[in-house]
Chain A
Amino acid sequence: MSETPIWRRDFPYTSAGEEGVTRREFTRFLMAASVAAAGSGGLMAIWAQLRPINTGEARPVAELAEIPIGGSHLFQYPTDRDPAILLRLAEDEMVAFSQKCTHLGCVVFWNPEDTVLECPCHEGFFNLEGRPIAGPPERPLGRIELEVRDGTVWALGAREGMT
């Protein structure tokens, strides 16, 4: 007479694989995960190589007279879904950046008191060149080239970090 455990009598249900996973099966699973990881990296590399980067076309984004010195102006560039910020640092000195934080994509804002661009999500800070100076971001903000034409500020194109 076979000894049936008490728990088996109380719970007489079985399922496939309940005997456990052997080392060989587990190693096979790990091998598949390993190949999948390499393949995923390859797909990302191919995607990064082939995807087009929209650097935008030249278009007016603001009237110079409407932006006070030391102030900022929000606009969208290169598409209507890409928030950007323009900073007027001096009479004839302006810079513009993508507002997407390069950490996790939160919107950065201009902090005139500390003269930094600040990401409120994880306390990321960028200087006036768009370089990260504190917090988790490690890549610079996307920079937008500007030009003033007859009192109007034009965005000419985006570079560095614009995706």
Chain B
Amino acid sequence: MRRVRRTQVATAVMVYVILLLGLQLFLLAVAAEAFLASEPGLAWGATAISTVLAAGTVGFYLYFRRA
């Protein structure tokens, strides 16, 4: 039972992390576009959100390791 739950947690964490990474790739494209347009403000905004998402990814991974 515990093994099944652990597998479910692993899969759920993996799906969450994939979703967050997808959002980050979009934000990376936004930052690249801002870079080409010489708009550092937009690049900083995209980076800030991306950093929060990266922190979420790390958090999920740490939870996964403890579970």
Q: Is A26 an interface residue (CB 8 A)?
A: yes
Q: B residues 8-35 with Cβ under 8 Å of A?
A: 10-11, 13-14, 17-18, 20-21, 24-25, 27-28, 31-32, 34-35
Chain A: interface secondary structure? helix
Complex: chain A residue closest to B54, CB-CB: A38
Docked CA distance A26–B32 (Å): 26
Is the beta-carbon distance between B64 and A27 smaller than 8 angstroms?
yes
CB closest residue in chain A, given B58: A31
Number of B residues contacting the other chain (C-beta, 8 Å)?
36
Question: B35 to A47, Cβ gap below 8 A?
Answer: yes
Q: Shortest beta-carbon distance, B21 to chain A, in Å? A: 5
**Chain A: interface residue count, which band?**
20 to 34
- Contact among B18, B25, B38 with A37 in the assembled complex (CB-CB below 8 Å): B25
Complex Cα distance, B32 from A37, in Å, reads 11
Q: In the complex, which residues of chain B have a beta carbon less than 8 angstroms from the beta carbon of A44? A: 31-32, 34-35, 43, 47
Could you list some 26 contacts between A and B, CB below 8 A? A24-B10, A24-B64, A26-B14, A30-B18, A31-B17, A33-B21, A34-B17, A34-B20, A34-B53, A35-B57, A37-B27, A37-B28, A37-B50, A37-B54, A38-B47, A40-B28, A41-B28, A41-B43, A41-B50, A41-B51, A44-B31, A45-B34, A45-B44, A45-B46, A48-B35, A48-B38
